[in-house]
Structure 1
C-alpha cells in the first residue's frame, strides 16, 4: 500500500479531486429531484473528462510544460496574448474562487452535520466561524507546505466514502432497467438544465486541465510513457464516474425527499451505516472539503505563474499572494448567510459555464505542430473535441437563456 500511494499517477489524483463535496452534493440533489433521469449527463461528463484530460496529459508529457505556459508562448501577437491571458485568468480566478467557496462550505456541511452551527453576529453581517477555522487550516497547510501527507490521508478517506456509496447503491436494490434508461436516453426539463451543468462542472473541473498538464510533466518525461498515462487516466476517470452514478442512485432512494444539510446527505448512506451514517458523511465531507480547499488555490497559483511566466518558486511572495487571495475569497463567500448546499451547487454550475473557455484553448494548443509535433490531435480526437466543446457551449448558452427568461 505504501508503494502504491507513493507511485499513484496524476489520473487518480484528478479523479479523487472531483469526488469531493460538490460531487456528493450535486449528485445527491440530482437523484432526489430527478431520480435516474440525469445519469446520461454523467456519462457525457465521463466521456468529456477522459477526452479533455487526455489532451492535457499529452500536452504535459510531450511539451514538458503546463497549459497556461504553452498558451502564453504560442500567442505571439502582444494584444492577443494579453487578451487570452486575461480571459484565462478571469475564468480560473472566478471558477476557483467559486469552487473554493464550495470546498469550504462542504467541509462546514460535514462539521455541522454532527455539531451546531457557530457564528458571530455583527451589525448587518454574520460571520461563520467554522468557515474561518477551515480556511485557517488550509492557509496553515499551504504556508508550511506540509499538506502532501495529509492529502493522502484525506484522499484515502474520500475513496472510502466512494466505496461506501457503491455498496449502498447495490443495497438499495435499484431499478436496473431505469438506470440503463437514465444513462442512455437523454431527457431533462428546463428546471433540470442547471443540475445538468452542475453534473458536468463537478466532473470536468476546468482547473484540473491545467493541474493535470503540470503533474504529468513532472512524473513522466518521455513520449513512450504516454500509453501508460492514458490507461491510468481512463481507469481513474471511469472509476470516478461510476462512483458519481452510485451517489445519484443513492439519492434516488425513496426515503430521500430533500437535501439542505449534511444530515440530509447522510441519509443516502443509511442503508449501509445505519445510525453511524451521519458521522461517516461528516468525516467524508470534511476530508473532501479540506483536500480541495488546499489544492484549488494552489492550482490557481500555478495557472497565474504560467500565464505571467514567473520563474519564482512556491515560497515566493507573488505565488503566495495568488493562493491566499483565492482562499480568502472562498472563506468570505462561505461566511455569507447562504445555504452551504446552494454555494456548492453554484460552484459546480460556474465550473460548467467556464469549461468551454478553457477547453477551446486546450483544443487549440494540442493541434499546434510547433508544440505537439506528430503527437498533435488526430482527426478522430478533433471530432470528439469539437463535439464536446459544442455540447458544453450549448448547455452554457441554454443555462444563460433560462436565467434571463426567468427575469
Structure 2
C-alpha cells in the first residue's frame, strides 16, 4: 500500500534511492494503513498530459469545498454589504495564500505517505499533539455549526421548515452522502464537482442579474484597503477561507492516488499535477466567492447608511427585493449545495484527524462516522434551537475563531515540511506562503492602530 513504503523518505530522503529495497525495508517502522490508494496514476510521462492530470484530479476539488462552505458565503455577503468592492483584494490574496499552503499540505502527504495528523503524533510530544487535536476539534465544531445550520437555512428558504428540523435532515443527508465512500473515491469526487458546478451556476447567474461594475471589480481586486467599518469582516474572511482542518484533509486526500514513494521522479510528477489541480479548484472557488461579494456590493452596500448586515437567511429577502423572486431560490440552491458538500468534507476531515492522532480505534467505519458526526451535530442542534435569532452574529464569531485556531495547524505543517528528517528536501514554497500569511495578518492587525492615530 501507499503508506507501507513512505517512511523511507522520512528516515532516509528521496535522494538516497540508490540503496536497495531490502535496506529500506529493514529501517522503516510499521504504521497503520488508514487510507487506501484507489486510483492508479500510471507510469511517469515526460511531457504534460491532460489524461494524467485527470487521474490526479479530485483531492483538490474536495479540499476547495472548505473555501465554499456557508461560513464563506456569509463572510462574502457581509464583506460586500459592509465594504462594497473594497475587500476583493483580500479575497484574492486569501486564495493565493491558500493555494501555496495547500500545496505544502499535499506535498507532505505525497512525500511521506502519511497525513498531517499522523506526523504530528509521531514528531510532537503527547501533551502537545493532544493540545493540537483539541484546538483542531474546536475549529471543526465551529465550522460544522455553520455548515449544518447553513444547510438548514437553505431548506427553510425553499420549503419553510423549522430550523431544527432542517438541522436533523442535514445530519441524515450527510450519512446518505457518506455511503458513497463504499462505491469508491471517484464517485464521491464526481458528486462534489456537480455540487461545485451548481454553486457556480447559481451565483454567477445572480451576478449577471445585478449588472456589476467591472471597473470597480478590478479596482477592488488590486488596491489593498480595508474600510474602517469592515475590520471584523476582513478578519472573518481570512478565518473562513483558510481553515485548520483543511490542511489535515488535503494531506490525507492525496493518498488516494497510487504513487511510488521510492521514486523521486514519481514524487515530483505527483506534486506537479496536484499543484495544478489545486490551483484550478481554488480558481473556481475564487470566482464563486467573488460573485457573492459583487452581488451584495451591488444590492445592499450603501457607504452613507449604517444598517444591520444581512445574514444567510436575510440575504434571500435582500435579493428578492432587488433582483426578484427567482434570485431567492438561486441563492437557496447554491447555499444548499455549499452546505451539503462542506458537511461531507468536514466529516471526512474529522475521521482522518481522530484516527491520525489516536490510531485506528474504530472497528467499523460506521462507528467512526457516527462519532465524528455527533461531535458537530449536538452543538449544531443547540444553536438551531436556542440561538436561531442570533446566528448571524455567531457565524461572524466562528469565522474569527478559525483564524485563531489556524496557527496550530499551519505551524506544524511548515515545521514538518522544513524538516529534512521528514521530507527529502525543503520547499521554498513554505517561505512564500508564510510571508504572504504574515503580511496580510500583520496589515489587518496594525490597521486599527493606524486609524486610531488619525482620530
- Normalising by structure 2, we get a TM-score of 0.74
Larger Rg: 2
Give the match's secondary structure for 1:386.
helix
Provide the rounded CA distance (Å) in 2 between the counterparts of 1:187 and 1:399.
10
Provide the rounded CA distance (Å) in 2 between the counterparts of 1:377 and 1:66.
17
The answer to whether the 8 A contact 1:313-1:319 is kept is no
Aligned partner of 1:37 among 73, 86, 90: 86
Offset from partner CA, 1:2-28 (integer Å, 9 cap, x none) = xx9997421122223421222222111
Offset from partner CA, 1:120-147 (integer Å, 9 cap, x none) = xxxxxxxx23223322333455579669
Runs of 5+ consecutive residues of structure 2 not aligned to the other structure: 1-52, 260-265, 303-308, 450-455
Provide the rounded CA distance (Å) in 2 between the counterparts of 1:85 and 1:216.
23
Shift of 1:173: 3.2
| 2:150 is equivalent to residue 102 of structure 1 | no
| 2:431 is equivalent to residue 386 of structure 1 | no
Q: Relative to structure 1, is the Cα distance of residues 17 and 176 closer, same or farther in structure 2, using a 3 angstrom cutoff?
A: same
Shift of 1:89: 1.1
| 2:356 is equivalent to residue 306 of structure 1 | yes
Aligned partner of 1:21 among 70, 74, 77: 70
Give the count of matched residue pairs: 382
Aligned partner of 1:115 among 159, 163, 176: 159
Runs of 5+ consecutive residues of structure 1 not aligned to the other structure: 76-80, 120-127, 402-407
The answer to whether the 8 A contact 1:157-1:287 is kept is yes
Offset from partner CA, 1:158-204 (integer Å, 9 cap, x none) = 42222332344345332333222222222224542221122122222
Offset from partner CA, 1:61-118 (integer Å, 9 cap, x none) = 111110011122123xxxxx12321232122111110111101111121112133352
| Between 63-72 and 382-391, the greater mean CA deviation after superposition | 382-391
The answer to whether the 8 A contact 1:198-1:345 is kept is yes
Partner of 1:206: 244
Partner of 2:254: 216
Aligned partner of 1:235 among 262, 273, 280: 280
Aligned partner of 2:230 among 184, 188, 192: 192
The answer to whether the 8 A contact 1:270-1:277 is kept is no
The answer to whether the 8 A contact 1:107-1:285 is kept is yes
Give the match's secondary structure for 1:228.
helix
| 2:354 is equivalent to residue 295 of structure 1 | no
The answer to whether the 8 A contact 1:293-1:327 is kept is no
The answer to whether the 8 A contact 1:171-1:271 is kept is no
Partner of 2:128: 84
Provide the rounded CA distance (Å) in 1 between the counterparts of 2:58 and 2:419.
26
Aligned partner of 2:384 among 323, 329, 334: 334
Partner of 1:178: 216
| 2:355 is equivalent to residue 355 of structure 1 | no
Partner of 1:404: none
The answer to whether the 8 A contact 1:27-1:199 is kept is yes
Give the match's secondary structure for 1:371.
coil
Shift of 1:269: 8.5
Provide the rounded CA distance (Å) in 1 between the counterparts of 2:57 and 2:322.
32
Partner of 2:96: 47
Partner of 1:125: none
- Normalising by structure 1, we get a TM-score of 0.82
Q: Relative to structure 1, is the Cα distance of residues 167 and 398 closer, same or farther in structure 2, using a 3 angstrom cutoff?
A: same
